[in-house]
Structure 1
Amino acid sequence: MSVLLVIPARHASTRYPGKPLAPLRGATGESRSLLRRSWDAAREVRGIDRVVVATEDERIRAHAMSFGAEVVMTSDRPRNGTERCVEAMDLLGDHDLVVNLQGDAPLTPPWFVEDLVAGLDAAPSMQVATPVLRMEGAALTGFLEDRREGRVGGTTAVFGTDRRALYFSKEVVPYTGRPYAPREPTPVFHHVGVYAYRPGALRAYAAREPGPLETLEGLEQLRFLEHGIPVLCVEVEARGREFWELNNPSDVPRIEAMMATMGMP
């Protein structure tokens, strides 16, 4: 099985222009860009045949090449990472699976991606898969605080007994109705922004326009659900690692603090 891992990197982010180039300091005080740290995370994943950065921006291309990354230049037409993965796949040729490791998740542990690939490979009837992480009380409290203060934080996922996604939202779903102790497991799942696709699913995605739910939530994966393409949710375990995506400039100190706690250089 051949696996292509694509890191989509767009300079013209609405909430955070130039985000891939944002510096992040690790435990040793060394500063590396968000894109470099995402590339480093991708290179730790076992079973990947090729890793590329996909971008439309010459500044990102030059920066990625400066630390040895392979870069594929896409057009400025893609509206999200999945559409950029389609263009990258068309330029590089088909693989059995394409992984989208979005360039704003440098804390993604390698086993999240490894478990995702294994989960989709073991479900031949499924075309798309994404990881979900059961939240403990402390993480859920953080999500709820973000919402109360009007910050766009992480995404939550709900799925059926067959592990097929029912919905993804930037709101906290499902409603729990009670507080949880910091280390207590909750029924809320954090959606980890990584995807694995079969080539046919990517082409089907590119052939469809965004629906109202994708537009309202700003979540690209909802296009699959709105057009009847099921998404497999693969549960992953933190194994003591902290996880967060860089959604807004205010997330930088949060991620740097997590990196310091975990001793990441």
Structure 2
Amino acid sequence: MPTLIVIPARYASQRYPGKPLVDLRGATGEARSLIRRSWEAAMQVQGVDRVVVATDDDRIRDAAEAFGAEVVMTSETCRNGTERCAEAFDRLGGGHDIVVNLQGDAPLTPPWFIEALIAELSDHPVAEVATPVLRCDGRALRGFREDRRAGRVGGTTAVFGIDRAGLYFSKEVIPYTGADYADAAPTPVFHHVGVYAYRPSAMAAYPRWTPGPLETLEGLEQLRFLERGVHLTCVEVEARGRPFWELNNPEDVPRLEAMLAEAGMP
């Protein structure tokens, strides 16, 4: 199925202004911007026909074009990455059966995460949106808890039903578990990886919907789909030894740089 990856990127982030242009150093010590590393991650995905950066900022456009990315300019009124993807898809004239939203703050996203989403929508017609979830081990769960105790917004957690349909997503650690786990022990908590694959019909409807109370409270765009009864499938993926985290706060820079080095990424 013809597939497009859109990397939405905005400069005026409330929590971290200018985040897409922040430099990160990997295994070789070379500084590469966050948006470049996200684009490089997208280019590794198999079965994709086109990759574009979608932004409303000339600085991001110039930086992206300088390293060879195709850029689509979108309006400043987009409220989140899904709305920006929908506008970019419209400006490109459609033509793809699956659209992937690889958010520009997740350069450590392994290609097989995205390939699993593409396969999910290709093989299961009932699914309108697919997103990956990663089972936390004890080490990852402690990191989530430490972030919350320190008042930092870290990763997002997900809960889903037996049929893998998403039930809820939160910046709190859910479901509750008071247990302690060894570093490598599996836990019942799933880290939501902020990547989405959409059918164009679901993505096109999204900007027309008013954000609901849950999306407003949590600040999580995917909750708009759940509040509207859209079938959003959670696809469990495996890290295969690859460290994973998103750049949410300035304090995450050294954490991501250490993970880039650990993964051997330049």
Q: Under TM normalisation by the shorter chain, which class is it?
A: over 0.9
Alpha-carbon distance in structure 2 between the residues aligned to 1:103 and 1:243: 14
**Given that residues 35 and 64 in structure 2 are in contact (C-alpha distance below 8 angstroms), is that contact kept between their aligned partners in structure 1?**
yes
TM superposition shift of 1:122 = 1.3
Give the structure 1 partner of residue 44 of structure 2.
44
Report if aligned partners of 2:141, 2:189 keep a CA contact under 8 Å in 1: yes
Partner residue, 1:227: 228
CA contact (8 A) 1:132 1:236 kept: yes
1: CA distance, partners of 2:253 / 2:81: 21
Q: Secondary structure at the match of 2:178?
A: coil
Distance (Å, rounded) in 2 between the aligned partners of 1:263 and 1:223: 37
The Cα of 1:93 is off from its aligned counterpart by 2.1
What is the correspondence of 1:155-170 to structure 2 with a 5 Å cutoff?
A: 155-170=156-171
Distance (Å, rounded) in 2 between the aligned partners of 1:136 and 1:115:
21
Cα distance in structure 2, aligned partners of 1:38 and 1:140: 25
Unaligned runs of 5+ residues in structure 2 are: none
CA distance in 2, matches of 1:136, 1:258: 16
Give the unaligned 5+ runs of structure 1.
none
Q: Which residue of 2 aligns with 1:32?
A: 32
Maintained 8 Å contact 1:154/1:190: yes
Native 8 Å contact 1:99 1:196 kept in 2: yes
Give the aligned partner of residue 240 of structure 2: 239
CA distance in 2, matches of 1:234, 1:156: 13
Quick one: distance in 2 between partners of 1:170 and 1:120?
26
- 1:204 CA displacement: 1.4
Cα distance per residue 1:197-224 (max 9 Å; x no partner): 0010011111101001001000000000
How many angstroms does 1:100 deviate by?
0.1
SS of the residue aligned with 1:228?
coil
Alignment partner, residue 67 of structure 1: 67
Runs of 4+ in 1 over 6 A off after TM superposition: none
RMSD over aligned Cα atoms: 0.6
Percent identity, aligned pairs only, is: 73
Name the CA distance, whole Å, in 2 between partners of 1:50 and 1:13.
26
Partners of 2:185 and 2:195 in 1: how far apart?
Answer: 25
Q: What is the letter of the counterpart of residue 112 of structure 1?
A: F
**Cross-structure match for 1:16:** 16
Equivalent residue number for residue 257 of structure 1: 258
Corresponding pairs, count? 265
What residue number does 2:100 align with? 99
Contact in 1 for aligned 2:126/2:231 (Cα 8 Å): no
Task: Give the whole-Å Cα distance in 2 for the aligned partners of 1:126 and 1:111.
Answer: 19
1:42-191 matches, within 5 Å, as: 42-94=42-94, 95-191=96-192
Amino acid across the alignment from 1:41? A
Asked if structure 2 preserves the Cα contact closer than 8 Å seen for 1:144 and 1:172, the reply is yes
Q: Report deviation, 1:190.
A: 0.3
Q: Quick one: distance in 1 between partners of 2:262 and 2:238?
A: 18
| TM-score, normalising length: structure 2 | 0.99
Rounded to whole Å, the distance in 1 between the matches of 2:168 and 2:2 is 29
